[in-house]
Amino acid sequence: MPIHEGWLADARRVPSPNHNARPAGEVSLLVLHSISLPPGEFAGDAIERLFTNRLEPDAHPFFAEIAGLRVSAHLLIRRDGECVQFVPFHDRAWHAGRSRWRDGGVEREGLNDFSVGIELEGDEVSPYTAAQYEALARATRALLAGYPAMSEARITSHAHVAPLRKTDPGPAFDWAYFRQRLAATAILS
């Protein structure tokens, strides 16, 4: 799954307007998220609509609360393993919000400036699918190959970088299984 001009080769492209240039061009951190829209429901196009500013506030009561958000992620991994890319990796997607990362003893803020955001279609309590772990491992391996400043030690969760605001991808995300799948993709590469 190579990356070409910031786009994952196997991903379906749905360009989002919710991005801009990275101030320093650095890509060195991967932040994992979870999302379901409406909350607890999977499938449908609501996530794509949210990330492209086309969410209809009248379609669901929750949508009225979030319709004005201007957010995006670089990549969404659906329950069936499909990858949907909204923003090229070399650009800054608006995914982490107020967040912090301890980087070599230095506290850094503004993680969108140097991180890639991957959303897993999920709700923090439902188990993620084997197809999602496989797609996430392949996408992560491509990012590690394409952006040398990123490493396996620089993969984290939204909960870790925004602990008072966020809990995703939540306790349902199996970090050990993800690392196992990531190691297996290294062997196959």
Q: Is 5 among the catalytic positions?
A: no
Q: Comparing C-alpha atoms, which of 79, 41, 49 is closest to residue 66?
A: 49
Asked whether 3 and 85 are in contact (CB, 8 A), the reply is no
Name residue 26's amino acid: E
DSSP letters for 47-63: HHHHHTT---GGGSHHH
Residue 28 sits at the vertex; the CA angle it makes with 26 and 31, to the nearest 5 degrees, is: 120
Q: Three-state SS for 189? A: coil
Question: Of residues 48, 119, 121, 124, which has the active-site annotation?
Answer: 119
Q: Which residues, 6+ apart, have CB-to-CB distance to 151 below 8 Å?
A: 144
DSSP 116: E
Q: Which residues, 6+ apart, have CB-to-CB distance to 148 below 8 Å?
A: none
Q: Three-state SS for 7? A: strand
Q: Which residues are catalytic?
A: 119
